[in-house]
Structure 1
């Protein structure tokens, strides 16, 4: 950024409580370059009106069509707040309550102990306090999961082992939102997608949005997902698994999401005169109350003292104001929605690459202007931080693969037959370790995309290199008990948490 422009930005940011269109354009364009993001869409709502809604960059590096305010993105986990809104509406109708037991609606629901099963409520489904670990069981839906239907996921929850006591600790969860979607269907008689589209999207006139990619009526204005792969940006196959919809299925645009944000900031009211309601003010307040504590980091510029999760939303204080927010991520698409209710302000950023630092740079720049915080160059700051994190992670992965290359050079011999066979995990099913022409391979029966070549690392530990290089999730495989048992772990600390290899416990069949 040129010095004169920086001075101008500093002056305007510190002098006014708003940000100009030119300034948003500037940070968005800088973000595209700094984080290698092909396209982004940004909208800002203030006092019940859209004051900015615009696209930047391209929908796909293959076609070069421009992003605009109506371009569709997968909003991913920003779908979760739609799920809790649906429950709130059903509570208003007297059809259910937040503290109803899940087993009341789904008799086959079963967790890791009878006590937890019997006590587990609808509220517990959507507050990330189950006792299960971060992303536990996500390999049933990620990166493939087409073989696992909601009924399979519900049946397999009992095999996931807790890492903390029930209701004592925050650990982000996806699978229980899928269960919440099944509860909504049981209570309302409508599928999750039907409910969201007819009861929420239609009244709000979110006319181009849908509960799932496969339900979009028009896909002519939609992004491709992009992932940095082997040093180059690559278009990857779109995630389409409908089992994941209640947790991450929605496709929408910033124009449509602006209508959603305005309704939220109006405590459930919508319409030109706020004459209609989706849910009551009481239910609005319920969704925006802390349910699960998340340790806060009190530091500049926001001085956050309290942080936690409500019902479908992250909640915290920033510079003395309440902040209601959520992020979302699918492979190649990440998003963020941020609401500051006391300022009647909403910000949504949708991107077609998976750099969370990119949407944070844009959101925080806009947010700081309204909070009257002195300008920070978040693009440069987050870009450097991202590079440092990647370099640190690359050091670990490089050491692993260097050791493997050394083993090859030294012609270290491994008796593959001692390790081959079929291994079963109670919730993930079977994997097959095979040998062909001196090479070892990994294949999953229920998640076919998890396939790759296996290399000897050290002792009884091997590394699997996935054929799909966009996963960025190569893993270690450790054999024990005379090679009858297998445990796995991601090699890189930057591997997405939904590759929950650590939760697998395989036994030879």
Structure 2
């Protein structure tokens, strides 16, 4: 989610290679000191690093602390939420069902999930299981994410049902736009086919057979584990991502309804096991002929399905720009320095993860941090890539810090200009006349209340998403949520010919707001009062 993490690509021959080349380089000398230095420079409280070379785990270690202000250290068994890197885990769960002959990648979704509907009936009929995984459905970037970001009270089944009300941004299979909500559908399909919830199926048929002994698929299991990292973010510097590091409330993270899109929590030791299985094309290292999934399933998972747009990075990180970029089944496939890379980032509520595979070198690594300081994550990722590709040393964390600061400065300038250009004006109506019940077709109901001269907004299906509307200009207000971790938004009212509220639209205040706050996709209209 925050701090987009698709940074690599693949060469034209991108099917799984059956020939393995053992890495020529060992773990970077002085790795521990370098990790600790980057953490200090960027204020990262804790980190876990796993590296696999030539089928062997050569590094699995924790650094720093699980929580600021507390002494408990991060170790190789500390679990971190892994965000969207879990999309590959959901894909592996589907692969298990494919190997058993219970589904096919190109089966129609409605053949296994009859109640599934997209906005367009033709798309509903044509959508395949493969389509659920590759971000080519026609939905806009992050469409529907407010159904589970922040945490929602909606069930997974109800989340899937509401897909029918989300209007497409483009035609079906015409291009790429990253989404989470169709992985929610994939999770519901796993339940329909297997008779087990996504949480139970992934735990019993993927994580435990894989030897990932401490990884979890549910909040209940994660909270029951004492050795877990706590989320952190910067909240007081003008917008999220700037200011002092703060501990967040871990129970406000991603809604359980979205777990198939990013609900796995894992440790360095378990991530090392996952990397080994991926590099072995589904074989369970050290367990003879036993496999988690077939080699054919591995080939399917790694084969690109849709080209992803390439937007050149500016200096000083221009060399990170790929020449080729695509999305496979739960993996991004790109090139870096002429070598095929598979990778996926994950960012969810105060925690970030990066998983990287270099198949030709039989190298894989994962980086996990308990903060939103992606500069450290990306910087160390490229330093490790350069090491294993025998490239010259370079201070990538410093380069990413320069790039990030330029983005922050630009965003602050935009916010400053917006304030300076704000017009002195009054709202058209008394506050009480904006109050009422409203609904968006896909999100559902909200309520506006006049509470003693304060206009309050309540996203009723999202616990704690309640805030105060402060007049901005004309009939636009800013909502300041009681929970400061939620992105502030502009709320604009349009009136009808009788001077009554006809509709409400929203957009994020921060230019750097995470795309999962898809306020801009909302259109609220009045409904009858309860």
Match in the other structure for 1:10: none
Asked if 1:195 is matched to 2:201, the reply is yes
Q: How does 1:245-264 map to 2 (within 5 A)?
A: 245-264=259-278
The structural deviation recorded for 1:23 is 3.1
Q: How many residues align?
A: 489
Match in the other structure for 2:5: none
1:303 & 1:217 partners in 2: Cα distance? Answer: 39
SS of 1:204's partner is coil
Change (3 A) 1:107 1:192: same
The structural deviation recorded for 1:274 is 4.6
Q: Please, which moves more after superposition, 290-299 or 473-482?
A: 290-299
Q: Deviations over 1:340-393 (max 9, x none)?
A: 000000010011001222211111111111111111111111112212212221
The structural deviation recorded for 1:439 is 2.1
Change (3 A) 1:493 1:303: closer
Corresponding residue to 1:37 among 32, 44, 49: 44
SS of 2:208's partner is helix
SS of 1:270's partner is coil
Corresponding residue to 1:288 among 302, 305, 308: 302
Match in the other structure for 1:321: 339
Asked if 1:447 is matched to 2:472, the reply is no
Match in the other structure for 2:234: 228
SS of 1:477's partner is strand
The structural deviation recorded for 1:460 is 2.1
1:474 & 1:272 partners in 2: Cα distance? Answer: 51
Contact 1:34 1:379 in 2 (8 A): no
The structural deviation recorded for 1:395 is 2.4
Match in the other structure for 1:106: 113
Change (3 A) 1:315 1:274: farther
The structural deviation recorded for 1:449 is 2.1
Q: Deviations over 1:432-475 (max 9, x none)?
A: 2222232222111111322111111122221111121122x111
1:313 & 1:130 partners in 2: Cα distance? Answer: 17
Contact 2:456 2:466 in 1 (8 A): yes
Contact 1:303 1:319 in 2 (8 A): no
The structural deviation recorded for 1:322 is 1.2
Match in the other structure for 2:407: 389
Corresponding residue to 1:72 among 66, 79, 86: 79
Corresponding residue to 1:458 among 440, 452, 473: 473
2:309 & 2:222 partners in 1: Cα distance? Answer: 39
Q: Deviations over 1:104-135 (max 9, x none)?
A: 11111110111011111111111111101111
Q: Which protein, 1 or 2, shows the higher relative CO under an 8 Å CA cutoff with sep ≥ 6?
A: 2
Change (3 A) 1:245 1:400: same
Match in the other structure for 1:277: 291
Q: How does 1:410-425 map to 2 (within 5 A)?
A: 415-425=430-440
The structural deviation recorded for 1:298 is 6.7
1:423 & 1:273 partners in 2: Cα distance? Answer: 57
The structural deviation recorded for 1:487 is 0.8
Asked if 1:89 is matched to 2:101, the reply is no
Match in the other structure for 1:342: 360
Structure 1 runs not aligned, ≥5 long: 1-15
Change (3 A) 1:141 1:328: same
The structural deviation recorded for 1:24 is 2.1
Q: How does 1:21-60 map to 2 (within 5 A)?
A: 22-60=29-67
The structural deviation recorded for 1:297 is 5.0
Which has more helix, going by share of residues?
1
1:286 & 1:126 partners in 2: Cα distance? Answer: 12
1:435 & 1:415 partners in 2: Cα distance? Answer: 10
Corresponding residue to 1:380 among 398, 410, 418: 398
Structure 2 runs not aligned, ≥5 long: 1-22, 237-242
Q: What is the alpha-carbon root mean square deviation over aligned residues? A: 2.1
TM-score (norm 1): 0.91
Q: Deviations over 1:125-182 (max 9, x none)?
A: 111111011111111101121x211111111101111111101111111111011011
Q: Please, which moves more after superposition, 227-236 or 177-186?
A: 227-236
SS of 1:332's partner is coil
SS of 1:397's partner is helix
Q: Please, which moves more after superposition, 498-507 or 441-450?
A: 441-450
Contact 2:159 2:257 in 1 (8 A): no
The structural deviation recorded for 1:413 is 8.8
Which structure 1 residue ranges, 4+ long, deviate > 4 Å from structure 2? 19-22, 297-300, 399-404, 410-414
Q: Please, which moves more after superposition, 208-217 or 177-186?
A: 208-217
Contact 1:432 1:443 in 2 (8 A): yes
